[in-house]
Structure formats: C-alpha cells, structure tokens
Amino acid sequence: MRLADIAAPQPKGDETLLRVEAAGLNFLDTLVVRGQYQVKPPLPFSPGVEIAGTVAAVGPESPYKVGDRLAAPCNFGGFAEYAIAPRDGSQLLPAEMPSHDGVAMLTTYPTAYLALRKRAAMKPGDLVLVTAAAGGVGSASIHLAKHWGAKVIAAVGSADKAALCHTLGADHVIDYSAEKIVEAVRRIATAERVEGVDIAIDSVGGAIAVDCLRCLGWQGRLMIVGFAGGSIAELPSNRLLLKNAAAMGVYWGEERRRDPALADMIFKELFELYRAGVFRPLVRDVFEFNDAPAAVAALGARRTVGKVVVTT
C-alpha cells in the first residue's frame, strides 16, 4: 500500500459520502491485500470495509443530512479520508459515542448478539465457551454473555490475552498455547457440575472448531463465526448426533441485508446498553492513517486484541 491523492467519490442514490474518522480492520483485509480473498477488487483500490465519520455529502435519495455521524459498511475504500457509505447497514451514532467505538461496534457486537440471542437462544446460567476471546467478536461475546447472565469460558492463545480476558469479565480463561481446550473445559465443567458447555462461539475454525464441538454438553450449540485460523473445520457429525447438538453459521452481513428491521432493533438495544455503561468496545490497537500497512500486518500476525482501528 502507498499513499496517493485521488478525487473524492461522489454519492449517488441513497448513498452518503463520509469524512472518515475511523476505519475498522478485519481479517479479510489481510487477505484481500494479498489477492487471497474471495472478492478481488480491480487494482488499484483502497482496503477497508467498515467506516465511521461525519456525512460530508448525500445522494438525492439518502435519508441522512450533512453533519450526521454514521458508522457504515463500505464496498472497500475505507482506508481513505472520504469514502462512500451505502444506506444498507448505515447506523446513526449516538452523540456521545466516539467514532472508534462506533466502527468497533458495527459488526462485532451485532454478530455476538446474533450468535448468542437469535441463533443459540442463550439463557441465564448457560455455560458459554468463546474462542479468540480477546478479539473483536470474542470480547463482544464476553460482554454480552455476562450481561445476560451466562458463565463464560474464554479461550485464547497467549498468557497476555488470557490476563486481558479476566479483565473483560470472563469466569474462566484457557490459554490453549499452554493447555488443551478439551481437557480444560472438562475440568471446568466438572467444577460447574455440568457435562459440557451449552454454547461455543468459534471464530478460529480448523482443529479449534472440532475441539469446541467436543466440549458441547447435551443439546449444545456450536456457533460458527469465522475461520481466522486459516482453515475450515471438518466437523465429525457423529458428535452432533450423540449430544443431540447443533452447529450453526452466524453471518451478520447477510442477516442484516435480509432483515433490516431486525438489524435496527439490535442496534437500538446495543446503543442503549452502551449509553448505560454496560460495556465499552475493546479498542486498544489504534493506528494513524499513515500506518495503515502496519495495522494490517499486526492484525495478520495476531499481535492485536479487540477491534483494530485506523484513524484519519
């Protein structure tokens, strides 16, 4: 990546032009810059698919006005001073919410909400296992599961991330660089007097997802959020049968597109929880605009926690 001066894009239809104040990084950004993502934008392009900022111009059909503050997905182009935000997925930010919190909440918290509430039907007292628990979706899952009365097991890959998850409110923490997830969960389940976890939220994939499946108790639910480990799990379906269990995908972007009313309801509740001080997104790794290549590299090397943000 290199810096370049280009003409600002112009909004059409119901689009808005945002003066970008914060751009969120995702694992897909580490892939698309190497040409390894399923979508290959024509070169040259700016990475970045999540933005937050102030409306600078509006298309003729936009419901927003100049000066509004939004968080929004974008079809790449987020690592820029100005970027186009489509109407679909845009959310007005509360006045008290800084842009880096807004962009951090755009995907991670509704994904965690969708996994816990709508797909897994979490109830108070459930035992919830969260992998990549120091990441964006992971930390959001800890916050929401604890608020709704669950007991949370956070699984991470290093001692410093384990310490962080204790501060986020996790009841138990597993460092899977030092101990095996399945053995640790069985020990915790025995102490909690249950046979396994009720819900596992996995963002890693591969062998970790299979371990999560092995950790499920009777009628447990495995929520498949992503494959940050780089490989897709081959799940042994016999374990689903023996535990009367379920494995379900969680794809917030498509859910949002198909059910905008649900998306608005979820954001309304999440913003109310934010205003009430129930949680603050984990935003530790914030990079200046000129350091966007370093931000992508740090995320790809798993040196980051929470939501990684580039500010302009």
pLDDT (tens digit, 9 = 90+) per residue, 95-140? 999 999 999 999 999 999 999 999 999 999 999 999 999 999 999 9
CA distance 282 to 299: 15
Closest Cα partner for 279 from 105, 161, 69?
A: 105
**What is the model's pLDDT at position 31?**
87
Q: Yes or no: say if 82 and 35 are a contact pair by the CB < 8 Å rule.
A: no
Tokens (6 digits) for 173: 């923490």
At position 139, the amino acid (one-letter code) is S
Provide the 10 A C-beta neighbour count for residue 76.
Answer: 18
DSSP 116: I
Closest Cα partner for 84 from 46, 111, 119?
A: 46
Q: Yes or no: say if 311 and 102 are a contact pair by the CB < 8 Å rule.
A: no
> For the chain, which residues make up each domain, given as ranges?
16-106+282-311, 108-253
Output the CA–CA distances (angstroms, integers) from residue 176 to 149, 165, 207, 230, 232, in the order listed. Answer: 25, 13, 12, 17, 19
CA distance 254 to 256: 5
Fold of 16-106+282-311: Quinone Oxidoreductase; Chain A, domain 1 (3.90.180)
**What is the model's pLDDT at position 262?**
95
Model confidence pLDDT, tens digit, residues 31-69: 899 888 888 999 999 999 999 999 999 999 999 999 999
Q: Yes or no: say if 137 and 225 are a contact pair by the CB < 8 Å rule.
A: yes
Which CATH architecture describes the domain 108-253? 3-Layer(aba) Sandwich (3.40)
- Give pLDDT tens digits along the chain (312 positions): 899 999 999 999 999 999 999 999 998 899 899 888 888 999 999 999 999 999 999 999 999 999 999 999 998 999 999 999 999 999 999 999 999 999 999 999 999 999 999 999 999 999 999 999 999 999 999 999 999 999 999 999 999 999 999 999 999 999 999 999 999 999 999 999 999 999 999 999 999 999 999 999 999 999 999 888 878 889 999 999 999 999 999 999 999 999 999 999 999 999 999 999 999 999 999 999 999 999 999 998 889 999 999 998
The residue to which tokens 């597109």 are assigned: 257
